[in-house]
A and B are shown apart, each in its own frame.
Chain A
Amino acid sequence: MTADVVVAVRGVAKKFARSLKRSFVYGARDIGRLLLRRPVVDALRASEFWAVREVSFELRRGRSIGIIGQNGSGKTTLLRMICGILRPDLGEVAVAGRIAPMLALGAGFKPVLSGRQNVFLNLALLGVSERDARSRYDAIVDFAELHDAIDAPLGTYSSGMQARLGFACAVHTEPSILVVDEVLSVGDAKFRGKCRNKINDLRRGGTSLLLVSHSPVLIETLSDECLYLRGGKMAGFGAAADVLKQYEADSIQQAAAANEARLAALQQRDLAPGQRAAVRSVRLQSGGKDVEHWFCGRPGEVVIALQAAAPTEPISVNVMIFDLVHQAGETVQMLVSSRDHGWLALPGGDCEVRLGLPQVGLRPGSYRLKLSVSRGALHDILDVVDDVRLVVRDGGGSEHCAFFQPRVWSSDRAGVCGRHVPVAADEPDPAGADEG
């Protein structure tokens, strides 16, 4: 490893067993092989799969790498191997310097101990000496803003307070490498800003950053390079903007392929005996044209083709949107025609219902749409179509936002002097940093 490289990952692979019972049996066998000094089994055994395979990259001092990929693509497993929590089955990970693992904050926190005791306990686990822990204690309490509560048992803290204390401990370990797994959203907005500033301070001081996030915007903002994992393998590595484009294109392609298969299945089915109405197709459109994705902040439409055996009693068409990225599985929008527009009376035969969104408010990411047709005050379900995939891309103006907010800026006197971020006096020139 050259002097400038702080993390070197070479041909790393990790396998897991899908069956829990087999995993424990394999564990016992692996222990046996270890004791008998026999080599580890490289090949997959029954029920095993590669969670990470053939991943290689280097992180240099002061640089940052963002890791992106769908759920289950091996991001967290890779970080755990880099942090030394898991041992690679193949390949090696070499680390130079202290890692601040922010995979989950507050490791070792005990609810019956006071915040003060927990700070010392956590720092001990993070490898900080007792003397250094004492010298950093005040800075940690100041950062976490827990002066009044620091002597109270941790069990009396809110989850936000615990996360603040955990974050404060992690960033005060003088790390050479920060390993962040989706934990930048800690506490309230003010504290999140403080966390961001602290990470920026550390990076200015030469700390390297490994960041796992589902958010392309966050990766692009904070990373010099990006590693894209797909099915545990490296699907791309390079300049963040280029790799993110590839990631988005892949996400869209996957969503489109899934939707095509779903659409074909919908069109093949007939109305079941006694079924009054059914969904025959679902299409995503923008500006009246079929599209494979929407842009955040721009128009989007869902076109639902319905079929009714005979004129129906009033029905409602309902669209539920689930976030697959930021809040996995959470319903982020539930749009109900009977509430927004009124109850619909379907004539017999085919009919199209359009849901138009003048400006898509969903932030960039992947979503699952569930459509249902219901009737009556209790919304008896007539038909349901689940798992329609939707990808929303950044259309500009959704950075750091939980949703797109249409807005207009104006000023009575101040003029606009440019769209590029001015370099502050205390920051290195970005061009110079790139050369390093």
Chain B
Amino acid sequence: MVTGPVQPSASPPTPVCEPARPRSPALEALSLSWRIFQRTIAAKYRKSFLGYFWMVAPALLITGGVTLASEAGVITPGTARLPVALSVFLGTLLWQVFAEAVEVPHQAFEGARSYLTRVHFSRAAIVLTQLWESLLTTAVRLVAALVLVAIVTGLEVRGAALVTLCFVGAVLLGLGLGALVMPFTQLFADLQQTLKLLLGYGLFLTPAMYQPRGDGWFATIVRANPVSPLIDAARQAAGGEVLAAPMAFGAVLVVAVVTTVLGFLLIRAVAPILIERMLLGGR
């Protein structure tokens, strides 16, 4: 019983609401993430005048540099039917999409630190929120890539579908790997710095700018890079060629889906351990 000098409340009564129907955790996370995404996406670009330009700017810059280097005979961009500039642009964009997706889970937890430690809600929702943002930028990049390919070489429906699949594969592969390492990058700053370094310079370990020759260790690393089959497939599809390594392409897509599912399960399981450490004021 509350005692004390209670005055009549000035606020109107709260509307009575129907009891919420229980939903599955996955649906709950999807719904909540979409609502957070809707409210926060505008804020992200509110301080930017050039907005979407920054989504393709790095790829454009690298393409310009590599094209000049290629014309000077410094590097060998490969034998695809696509013009060098377009080939490099596609490869660089795909790596960028992959690299950003790897950082999505870590950034999602970092960005939500203030409310993860205050309110209980679906933890997968914050990663999904960041994923919607990542998919938006991927969509913008994909449209830019498809428009350029259509203008330069013409584009068939099959080619467009395959290029789209490559972009989706890059997002899922990045997201899955990022989700699997995120618990450890949250705990150890050194790991996060190492990952950033690898993602920053990893572009040079892909066929985005050049095709490695022979069977040396460098060529082996580039071919073993899980993003390489996606880059090769996207270029071949954009150039109207038959996929040279459909098995590798399919395998990467399967791995991408599996790692994404496993990554989300891992995040759900370990979130309380991470949030506990966030409260301690560490990373």
- Chain A contacts for B277, CB-based, 8 A: 23-24, 27
A20 to B121, CA, bound (A): 26
Check A201 against B9 for contact (C-beta < 8 Å). yes
A234 to B7, CA, bound (A): 36
Q: Judge if B213 is at the interface, Cβ distance under 8 Å.
A: no
Residue contact A24 to B188, C-beta cutoff 8 Å: yes
The answer to whether A85 and B275 have CB atoms under 8 Å apart is: yes
- As a 0/1 sequence over residues 12 to 55 of chain B, the CB contacts with chain A under 8 angstroms (1 = contact) are 11111100100000000000100110011011001100000000
In B42-72, the 8 Å CB interface with A consists of 42-43, 46-47
Q: Is B218's beta carbon under 8 Å from chain A?
A: no
Residue A421 interfacial (CB < 8 Å)? yes
Q: Is the CB of A139 within 8 A of B43?
A: no
In whole Å, how far is B272's beta carbon from the nearest beta carbon of chain A? 4
Residue of A nearest to B16 (CB): A174
Q: Report the Cα distance A416→B279, complex, angstroms.
A: 52
A142 to B14, Cβ gap below 8 A?
no
Is residue A69 contacting chain B, with contact meaning CB distance below 8 A?
no
User: Cβ of B119 and Cβ of A125 under 8 Å apart?
Assistant: yes
Among A16, A27, A108, A139, which residue has its beta carbon within 8 angstroms of that of B15?
A139
> A126 an interface residue at 8 Å Cβ cutoff?
yes
In the complex the two chains form, what is the Cα distance from A35 to B12 in whole Å? 50
Question: Could you tell me how many residues of chain B have their Cβ less than 8 Å away from some Cβ of chain A?
Answer: 53
Residue of A nearest to B23 (CB): A129
Task: Give residues 3-32 of A contacting B (CB, 8 Å).
Answer: 16-17, 20, 23-24, 27-28, 30-31
| Contact in complex: B12, A139 (CB < 8 Å) | yes
Q: Which residues 179-196 of A sit at the B interface, judged by CB distance below 8 A?
A: 193-194, 196
Contact of A108 with B114 at beta-carbon distance under 8 Å, contacts A120-B35, A139-B15 already known:
yes
Contact partner of A130 (CB less than 8 A), chosen from B14, B35, B276, is B35
Residue of B at shortest CB range from A399?
Answer: B4
Task: Please give, as numbers and ranges, the residues of chain A lying within 8 Å of B115 by CB-CB distance.
Answer: 107-108, 125
Is A30 in contact with B273, judged by CB distance below 8 angstroms? Answer: yes
- Which chain A residue has the least Cβ–Cβ distance from B118? A107
Known: A86-B272, A142-B12. A112 touches B47 (CB 8 A): yes
- The 0/1 profile, CB within 8 Å of A marked 1, for residues 268-283 of chain B is 0110111111011111
Residues on the A chain within 8 Å of B10, using CB: 194, 197
Do the beta carbons of B2 and A132 come within 8 Å of each other? no
Q: Are the C-beta atoms of B184 and A86 separated by less than 8 Å? A: no
Chain A hits for B79, CB < 8 A: none
Residues of A within 8 A of B2 (CB): 199-200, 203, 221-222
| Contact indicator per residue, chain A 377-398, by CB within 8 Å of chain B (1) or not (0) | 0000000000000000000000
Q: How far is the CB of A348 from chain B (nearest CB, A)?
A: 52
**Interchain CB contact under 8 A, A85 and B187:** no
Chain B residues in 8 Å Cβ range of A200: 2, 6, 9
- A103 interface residue (CB < 8 Å to B): yes
Q: Is A298 an interface residue (CB 8 A)?
A: no
Q: A114-136, CB under 8 A of B: which get 1 and which 0? A: 00010011001111011010011
Q: What is the size category of the interface that chain A forms with chain B?
A: 35 or more
B3's partner among A23, A104, A421 (CB-CB below 8 A) is A421
Determine if B117 is an interface residue (Cβ-Cβ < 8 Å). Answer: yes
Q: With A and B bound together, what is the CA distance between A103 and B114 in angstroms?
A: 12
Residues of A within 8 A of B119 (CB): 83, 85, 101, 107-108, 125-126
Given A20-B282, A104-B118, A200-B2, does the pair A113, B40 have CB atoms closer than 8 Å? yes
**Given A113-B40, A124-B36, CB of A84 within 8 Å of CB of B120:** yes
User: Is there an interface contact between A129 and B7, defined as CB atoms closer than 8 Å?
Assistant: no
Interface string of B187-204 (1 = CB under 8 A from A): 110000000000000000
Report the separation of the CA atoms of residues A101 and B115 in the bound assembly, to the nearest whole angstrom: 11
- Distance between Cα atoms of A136 and B10 in the complex (Å): 16
- A83–B115 CA distance with the chains assembled, in angstroms: 13
Which residue in A28, A87, A107, A113 is a CB contact (below 8 Å) of B43? A113
Question: Which residues, 233 to 283 on B, are CB-close (under 8 Å) to A?
Answer: 266, 269-270, 272-277, 279-283
Contact of A174 among B14, B270, B272, B280 (CB under 8 A): B14
B12 partner residues in chain A, CB cutoff 8 A: 139, 142
Report the Cα distance A139→B184, complex, angstroms: 43
Q: Are A101 and B280 in contact (CB under 8 A)?
A: no
Q: How far is the CB of A41 from chain B (nearest CB, A)?
A: 12
User: Does B176 have its Cβ within 8 Å of any Cβ on chain A?
Assistant: no
Chain B, residue nearest A204 (CB): B2
- B229: interface (CB < 8 Å): no
Residues of A within 8 A of B117 (CB): 85
Of B8, B35, B275, the residue contacting A124 (CB under 8 A) is B35
Q: Please indicate the chain B residues that have their CB under 8 angstroms from the CB of A30 in the complex.
A: 273
- A125–B114 Cα gap in the complex (Å)? 12
Q: Does A34 contact B (CB under 8 A)?
A: yes
| A292 interface residue (CB < 8 Å to B) | no
Residues of chain A contacted by B43 (CB below 8 angstroms): 110, 112-113, 117
Give the distance to chain B from A162, nearest Cβ to Cβ, in Å. Answer: 13
* Contact string against B for A residues 277-318, beta-carbon threshold 8 Å, 1 for contact and 0 otherwise: 000000000000000000000000000000000000000000
- Which of B11, B121, B272, B282 is A125 in contact with, Cβ under 8 Å? B121
Contacts of B120 in A (CB 8 A): 83-85, 99, 101
Chain B residues in 8 Å Cβ range of A27: 187, 273-274, 276-277
16 pairs across A/B with beta carbons < 8 Å? A16-B276, A20-B281, A34-B269, A34-B270, A107-B114, A112-B43, A112-B47, A113-B43, A194-B10, A196-B6, A198-B9, A200-B2, A201-B9, A221-B2, A224-B1, A424-B6
Given contacts A23-B277, A112-B46, 8 further A-B contacts (CB under 8 A): A31-B184, A113-B43, A120-B35, A121-B36, A124-B36, A126-B119, A174-B17, A428-B1
